[in-house]
Amino acid sequence: MALEARLRLPLAGPTPATAFLSGSNPKPSHISFSLKPASTSLSAANAPPPIVVVGSANADIYVEVDRLPLVGETVAASAGHSLAGGKGANQAACGGRLALGPTYLVARVGDDANGRLLEGALADAGGVRLDRVARAPGAPSGHAVVMLMPDGQNSIIIVGGANMEGWAPEVDQEDLDLIRQAGVLLLQREIPDWVNIQVAQVVALALSAYIPTFEVTLD
């Protein structure tokens, strides 16, 4: 995992991350925080190359429970919240908050309500370009169920959805063109391995084109 902190963005309406902390549970390690981008005086001419994240976006359903259910058992949750997440979206939101240059998320979401909510949450966060977030026809948006215990520990069930099923056999050329321009590239394992491998190969090839030179002064 490239990023341990699990940033969570509200999906809609009156479910801000702060509401998640209003109960008796201790503050979890994956607490949300404000995503207002830092101010910057960099001009367009001096702006650094973009941060590019190739990864996942998930709609997460949090439920607060005293314990996990046994086999065949149903337990009641004390609270539940729907939040935007996924390692890729988390990384992009953090990159956008730095406001050091453009941050792009290259991801796949479903053409469904969760997909539109994910797009909206990232857009509202500020600083994240969604040009390369594509809707995958026929695949639901990735989602997860997070069961949170009173001590802050959690158990997670994840459904890959469009994160795993929404990619074409070859990564889109426009995505690759953007990736070649990246100053920082972030990958993680919530998308198919072959996507990560193809992206890494493209970057390795691009880097091999740079031949270091050194200035030597002869007396």
pLDDT per position as a tens digit, 139-175 = 999 999 999 999 999 999 999 999 999 999 999 999 9
- What's the CA gap between 152 and 173, in Å, rounded? 42
Mean pLDDT of 43-67: 88
Q: With respect to CATH, is domain 43-67+74-204 assigned 3.40.190.10?
A: no
Is residue 190 a contact partner of residue 142, using CB atoms and an 8 Å limit? yes
Which residues share a beta bridge with 52? 104, 185
DSSP 6: -
Q: Distances from the Cα of 17 to the Cαs of 14, 104, 158, 170, in angstroms?
A: 9, 23, 20, 37
**pLDDT confidence band for 41 (50 / 70 / 90):** very low
Domain ranges of the chain: 43-67+74-204
Is residue 32 a contact partner of residue 83, using CB atoms and an 8 Å limit? yes
Q: Distances from the Cα of 113 to the Cαs of 110, 141, 158, 180, in angstroms?
A: 8, 8, 18, 32
Q: Which residues touch 55 (CB under 8 Å, ≥6 apart)?
A: 86, 87, 88, 89, 91, 92, 105, 106, 107, 186, 187, 188, 190, 191
Res 45: pLDDT: 58
Which residue did the predictor score with more confidence, 78 or 46?
A: 78
Quote the tokens at residue 87. Answer: 């390692």
Q: CB-based burial of residue 145 (10 Å sphere; 0-12 exposed, 13-18 middle, 19+ buried)?
A: middle
Is residue 65 a contact partner of residue 48, using CB atoms and an 8 Å limit? no
Q: What is the pLDDT of residues 87-142, one digit of tens each?
A: 999 999 999 998 888 999 999 999 999 999 999 999 988 789 999 999 999 999 99
